[in-house]
Structure 1
């Protein structure tokens, strides 16, 4: 109650100035006092606004930004869409607070009984709102499959064929010659920089590489392809980030800090990796298709939304 009293006092003293959109914390005679705007007829209260945007109640008064306005519109549309499809997601602040109170009471009782709970002992308003919204989006994603989003085999296959290059291309097969400088300290880096300064061409690199092969651990040939890309991406990320863009015969332009050493690299061979078949990546195709289609669907909802800002 204390927090609500602070909010009422705050808004009784302050009227936020709008941006060029004319967006005020005022209200119309046709709407309940404290309504900031309506979205498809659904009133957004001042409390809803603070909850959605994450503004601190103690912040100095400031105009509502376009970013905040868009966040409120998109969030309320998500709430309405979820509610319409039978997903538990409170639309107004009062209902949300009742649900938060009930959830925190449930957690308190569970702890007294030494029963396991997941997450915090007690939810804060913003954290619980984010939790509910995240769950609602996930459930909404599932609900939208089939209606209105067509996820038939024909649709997915068509999406795969139209986006094969970005969806299904395998990593090329690379062969690298690597000059290895053991150590990760400044002396090792200085040595790497000195060597790099002397090998400006592939031929000079190869000459230095062949000489270092005579000393164990100072030169290495390595293959990178689709089969081992996860290992490179996870454990040798710096190497992977630089090496994947090299063409055959091209020297790496940077020194690679790779775990316990520095490396200079030359791509000696690169062959096309081919493509995954639709069947091999069918689930990923579905997820990517849903990402793209839901994004389009959301933009359509935003474009069609009837937004009325209070005078």
Structure 2
């Protein structure tokens, strides 16, 4: 059939109407290799679009599905072309992928029959294998870029580390707190806790305020830095509040599950950070991710996307 292509910006504005159903049936004049769109000259096939739509359908409104699937494929295709330019892959057409999928499942079937170990499923669905391959393309591409174009000098690594160490590489501190706790079943609990906090802010001893406003048996709790993972599973909110307090600082009244709580930090170890020498690869990976996202956005913005309107509209009517 003769294609009528429409050039579009990467933010695809496609008037599709409401899709009539969730199951996409191949039409007589569309086959798996029918070209639905071109991205910088590289084709997106009907089957390629179909499997992405089927994967996204449970999480996407019907009238947005085809558009969102196509946007996803444009991004994927740009990443594939990028990887091809770097010599990481030879072919990026869907027919080649489809053949690889069949061969991989045959290999797995034979391995199972011979009782040989395999990793992952015994058989991949087409969609699962597509996402597996695409994920590996991105991993390889980021690895290659991180060793070349995005590789940082020693001074750049140091600067990057200093800018992110507070959020990424801060070690947990050991913290000792005092806390006031009232059950939220008491309708006046929040009001009482606000009064208790006001008393604490005047300098009244924590122990005295606890006696006056609560009946709790103990007011101190210690969070060991070496047990932070385990403690966080039990006291996530309490630890989050405590970590943001300086020594002597009193928290706002906050609710955690069925309790109203006030916390005072009475002791904490000095803030420490992972040494740069131990996290250089992490620092580089974070920078690579940032630069990758920025460059991908630039490539998508400048991409020439042509949509086969006849074919696309036919899919939208299914």
TM-score for both structures, normalised by structure 2: 0.69
1:190 to 185, 188, 207: 185
Q: Deviations over 1:256-301 (max 9, x none)?
A: 35xxx96734223477726555335333322221221211121222
Q: Secondary structure at the match of 1:82?
A: helix
Partner of 1:12: none
Q: Which residue of 2 aligns with 1:294?
A: 292
Distance 1:92 1:268, change over 3 A: same
Aligned equivalents of 1:291, 1:60: Cα separation in 2: 30
Aligned to 2:193: 199
Verify: 1:237 aligned to 2:236, yes or no. Answer: yes
Q: Is the aligned partner of 1:104 residue 2:105?
A: yes
Q: CA RMSD in A?
A: 3.9
Counterpart contact for 2:78–2:299, Cα < 8 Å: yes
- Output one character per residue of 1:16-66: Cα deviation in whole Å (capped at 9) or x when no partner: xx9983578xxxxxxx9832211121011121112234356xx99856665
Aligned counterpart, 1:135: 136
CA distance in 1, matches of 2:179, 2:82: 55
Structure 2: give runs of 5+ residues left out of the alignment: 1-7, 17-31, 201-205, 310-318
Higher relative contact order (CA 8 A, sep 6+): 2
Alignment of 1:205-284 (within 5 A): 206-209=207-210, 218-224=217-223, 229-246=228-245, 248-257=248-257, 264-269=261-266, 273=271, 275-284=273-282
**Contact 1:226-1:273 within 8 A present in 2 as well:** no
| Shift of residue 172, structure 1, vs aligned partner | 6.3
> How far is 1:110 from its partner?
1.2
| SS of structure 2 residue aligned to 1:145 | helix
Q: Is the 8 A contact 1:89 1:133 kept in 2?
A: no
TM-fit CA distance, 1:89: 8.0
Q: Secondary structure at the match of 1:43?
A: strand
Match of 1:95 in 2: 96
1:40-189, aligned counterparts within 5 Å?
Answer: 40-53=40-53, 54=55, 62=63, 66-88=67-89, 91-169=92-170, 174-179=175-180
Residue 212 of structure 1 contacts residue 218 of structure 1 at CA under 8 Å; is this kept in 2?
no
Contact kept, 8 Å, 2:146 with 2:285, in 1: the verdict is no
**How far off its partner does 1:125 sit?**
1.0
Show the counterpart of 2:304. Answer: 306
Q: What is the CA–CA distance in structure 1 between the aligned matches of 2:100 and 2:63, rounded to whole Å?
A: 30
1:198 is displaced (CA, Å) by 2.6
Structure 1 pair 221/90, CA: closer, same or farther in 2 (3 Å)?
Answer: farther
State the 1:166 CA deviation: 3.6
d(CA) in 1 for partners of 2:181, 2:279: 37
More off after superposition, 121-130 vs 87-96: 87-96
Offset, 1:174:
4.5
